[in-house]
């Protein structure tokens, strides 16, 4: 909807067929698609830009199939916020394998889809390794309701977008378990330090964590009840099992599969990542909240 607000014709590819004349989508209640949006089951052959908005674990499959039909000069911008589970790769590193040589970028920021679709004010960062390309794509997507900033730190923006989902689960656990808002604020702030270390070690910049894709999205996702990752954490903190929580949902909470992939990335680069480590253990290794509390708080004091 934000792209349609630029006035451009938008083809919305969907993998499942919808009845002819469909103008609403279950995931965007109350929104009627603008007239310049066409729903299609066919991948585009050409476009000014293609936005890839699927769960990150499907990015390899979808981009591989898209590559076979899409003009090689068309830029592809990923909106995925996560790491590929099997490889710990960032989305653009997946695309480098599936769409070699193609211009690519990432769009990320504090953007609940429903608010963007309503035309409420929002901002995001569009990053490409090539700043000139980021600036060109920014001008294609910018509107008076959706302000897009250009960046050349594609690695930092992707890492921030992926990590905030893991941290949001931790923030939800903190509140769900009754550990308090001081604890959540401390967790978010120390997460910035943790993600900054990881960004610097993996080709990004720590300063990106102060921006929309970093602090901006952490604030939204770690406090907004509209976040799927935060709400998974809330329910975990309240004592529900992960299996039960996921069984009752149809939407993706990227942090669940990204947490172990991000821990693997941190370990590979010898980066201290106690919060990501703790969330991963709670999600997949039967770690209790009490054990998590000790792991995080009983470490020797360090310098900020």
Ligand X SMILES: NC(=O)C1=CN([C@@H]2O[C@H](COP(=O)(O)OP(=O)(O)OC[C@H]3O[C@@H](n4cnc5c(N)ncnc54)[C@H](O)[C@@H]3O)[C@@H](O)[C@H]2O)C=CC1
Cite the annotated binding site for NADPH by residue number. 15, 81, 113, 228, 252, 254
By the rule CB under 6 A, 142 interacts with ligand 13P: no
Answer whether 28's CB lies under 8 Å from 117's CB: yes
Among the listed residues 88, 196, 221, 280, the single contact to ligand 13P using CB under 6 A = 221
Binding mask 248-277 for ligand X (x = CB under 6 A): ---xx-x-----------------------
By the rule CB under 6 A, 220 interacts with ligand 13P: yes
Stretch that binds ligand X, among 1-9, 47-55, 97-105, 278-286 (CB under 6 A): 47-55
Q: Among residues 235 and 254, whose Cβ is nearest to ligand 13P?
A: 254
Task: Report the catalytic residues.
Answer: 164
Answer whether 52's CB lies under 8 Å from 62's CB: yes
Q: How far is CA 165 from CA 57, 114, 289, in A?
A: 14, 18, 19
For residue 144, the partner it binds in ligand 13P, ligand X, none, with Cβ less than 5 to 8 A by kind, is none
Q: Among residues 228 and 281, whose Cβ is nearest to ligand 13P?
A: 228
Distance CA 217, CA 226 (A): 13
By the rule CB under 6 A, 138 interacts with ligand 13P: no
Q: Given strand 146-151, what is the order of strands in its sheet?
A: 50-52, 76-78, 104-108, 122-127, 146-151
Q: Which residues are annotated as a binding site?
A: 15, 81, 109, 113, 164, 217, 227-229, 252, 254
Distance CA 188, CA 255 (A): 15
Q: What is the DSSP letter of 76?
A: E
Q: Which residues from 247-286 bind ligand 13P, rule CB under 6 A?
A: 254
User: Which alpha helices (DSSP H) does 153-226 contain, by range?
Assistant: 154-176, 181-201, 217-223
For residue 151, the partner it binds in ligand X, ligand 13P, none, with Cβ less than 5 to 8 A by kind, is none
For residue 43, the partner it binds in ligand X, ligand 13P, none, with Cβ less than 5 to 8 A by kind, is none
By the rule CB under 6 A, 81 interacts with ligand 13P: yes
> Which residue spans within the chain are E strands per DSSP?
10-13, 37-40, 50-52, 76-78, 104-108, 122-127, 146-151
> 70 is written with which tokens?
């899409």
Distance CA 98, CA 120 (A): 35
By the rule CB under 6 A, 227 interacts with ligand 13P: yes
Return residues touching ligand 13P (CB under 6 A).
Answer: 81, 110-112, 165, 168, 217, 220-221, 227-229, 254
């Amino acid at each position: 909807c934000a792209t349609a607000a630029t006035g451009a014709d938008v083809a919305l590819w969907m993998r499942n067929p919808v009845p002819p004349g469909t103008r609403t989508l279950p995931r965007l209640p109350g929104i009627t698609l603008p007239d310049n949006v066409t729903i299609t089951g066919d991948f585009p052959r050409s476009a000014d830009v293609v936005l890839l908005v699927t769960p990150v674990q499907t990015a390899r499959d979808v981009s591989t199939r898209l590559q076979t039909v899409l003009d090689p000069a068309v830029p592809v911008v990923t909106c995925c916020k996560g790491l590929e589970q099997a490889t710990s790769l960032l989305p653009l590193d997946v695309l480098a394998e599936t769409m070699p040589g193609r211009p690519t970028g990432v769009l990320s920021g504090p953007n609940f889809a429903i608010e963007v679709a309503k035309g409420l004010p929002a901002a995001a960062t569009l990053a490409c390794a090539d700043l000139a390309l980021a600036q060109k794509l920014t001008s294609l997507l910018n509107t008076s309701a959706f302000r897009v900033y250009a960046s050349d730190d594609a690695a930092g923006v992707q890492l921030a977008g992926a990590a905030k989902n893991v941290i949001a689960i931790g923030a939800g656990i903190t509140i769900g378990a009754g550990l308090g808002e001081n604890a959540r604020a401390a967790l978010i702030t120390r997460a910035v330090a943790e993600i900054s270390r990881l960004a610097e070690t993996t080709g990004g910049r720590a300063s990106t964590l102060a921006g929309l894709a970093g602090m901006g999205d952490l604030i939204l996702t770690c406090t907004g009840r509209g976040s799927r990752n935060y709400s998974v954490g809330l329910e975990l903190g309240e004592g529900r099992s992960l299996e039960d929580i996921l069984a009752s949902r149809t939407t993706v909470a990227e942090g669940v599969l990204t947490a172990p992939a991000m821990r693997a990335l941190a370990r590979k680069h010898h980066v201290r990542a106690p919060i990501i480590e703790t969330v991963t253990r709670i999600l997949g290794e039967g770690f209790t909240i009490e054990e998590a509390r000790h792991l995080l708080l009983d470490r020797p004091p360090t310098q900020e």
